[in-house]
Amino acid sequence: MDLAFLIATMERLLAGVPLTLELSALSISTGAAIAVLFAVLRTSSRVGEWLVRAYVYMLRGTPLLLQIFLIYYGLAQFAAVRESLLWPFLREPFWCALLALTLNTAAYGSEIVRGGLQSVAQGAIDAGRAAGMSRLLLYRRIVLPLALRQALPAYGNEMIAMVKSTSLASIVTLMELSGIAYAVISETYRAFETFLCAGSIYLAINFLIARGIAWAEHRLNPHLRPAA
C-alpha cells in the first residue's frame, strides 16, 4: 500500500474533523435538550402527547437526507422564507444541516428519554411527593436524574448514530470529513485507501464516545456497582 498517499490523505481528512465534531456536538446537545422537553411534554397532557407522537412518527418515518433537502432546498421556494429574518441562516448549508440533524435526533432521543421516564419507580415519585416536592423539583431532583441514568446507554448509541449522520451534511456542500473524503476519491479514484483513512477517523471518534458513555455510566451509577 502507498504509505505516502495514506499520510497525505489523512492530513487532508483531519482538516474536516473540527466541522464533523462541531455538527455532532451542537446537534446532539441541542437535540438532547429538546428530546427531554418533548418526553416530558408527552407525559404531561393529552394534546402534548399527540403533538409529540406525530412529530416522532414523521421524523422517524422519513430519511434524514430528505429532511435536510426539505429544509435546505424546499423552504427557499417561499418568498416569505426568503424575505424573513431567518433567511441569513436558512440559506446557509451549515445551519440547515444542523437544524435537520437536531430535529432528527430530538425525535429519536425523545423516545429514549421516554423509556427512561417510564422506568422510574412509582415509589421514588411517591416518596418525593410525600416529602412535599413541587412538580418541578420532583422532576429536577428525582425523576430526570433517575430517567437519564437509565437512558444513558441507549442515548450513547444515538450519539454514535448522529456522528455518522453528520456525513450527510457533505451532500449539501459542507466540507466535513465525508465531504473531503468524497473530494479525495473523485480526484484520485482511490476509494479503498480513502475509506480506510476516513473510516478509521470515524471509528476513533465513536470509540471515544462509547468510552465516554461507559465512564459516565460508571460515575453516575455508584448505586449499581458492588459496594466498596
Partner 1 sequence: MDLGGYFTLIGFGPTGWGDQLLAAALMTLAVSASAFFASLAFGLVGAAAKLAPSAPLRWLAEAYTTIFRGVPDLLVIYLFYFGGSQALSALGHLFGHAGFLGLNAFMVGTLAVGLVAGAYQTEVIRGAYFAIPPGEIEAARAVGMGRLLMLRRITGPRALRFALPGMGNVWQQVLKESALISVTGLAEILREIHIGAGSTHLPFDFYVTGFFLYLALTTLSGFLFRGAEAWTMRAERRPA
Partner 2 sequence: MSTPAAISVRDLHKRFGANEVLKGVSLEAQAGEVIAIIGASGSGKSTLLRCISLLEVPDEGSVAIAGEAISLRTRRGRREPADRAQVNRIRASLGFVFQSFNLWAHMTVLENVIEAPVHVQRRPRREAIAEAEVILKKVGMVEKRHAYPAHLSGGQQQRAAIARALAMRPKALLFDEPTSALDPELVGEVLRVIRSLAEEGRTMLIVTHEMAFAAEVSDRAIFLDAGRIEEEGPPAQVLRDPSSERCRQFLLRYINR
73 binds partner 1 (CB under 8 A): yes
Among 28, 36, 142, 181, binds partner 2 (CB under 8 A): 142
CA 48 to chain centre: 22
218 binds partner 2 (CB under 8 A): no
CA distance 134 to 206: 39
Judged by CB under 8 A, the number of residues near partner 1 is 43
Task: Kindly state the smallest distance separating residue 115's Cβ from partner 1, in Å.
Answer: 14
Within 3-42, the residues that bind partner 2 by CB under 8 A are none
Instruction: Give, as one character, the DSSP assignment of residue 85.
Output: T
60 binds partner 2 (CB under 8 A): no
Burial 1-13 (b: 16+ CB within 10 A, else e): eeeeeeeebbebb
Nearest Cα neighbor of 110 from 61, 150, 161, 56 is 56
50 binds partner 1 (CB under 8 A): no
The single residue listed with the C-alpha cell 478509521 is 200
CA distance 70 to 168: 13
Within 110-139, the residues that bind partner 2 by CB under 8 A are 121, 123-124, 126-135, 137
Dihedral sign, Cα of residue 192, residue 12, residue 29, residue 206: positive
Q: Which residues bind partner 2 (CB under 8 A)?
A: 121, 123-124, 126-135, 137, 141-142, 145-146, 149, 220-224, 226-227
Q: Which residues bind partner 1 (CB under 8 A)?
A: 57-58, 60-67, 69-70, 73-78, 160, 164-168, 170-171, 178, 181-182, 185-186, 189-192, 194-195, 198-199, 202-203, 206-207
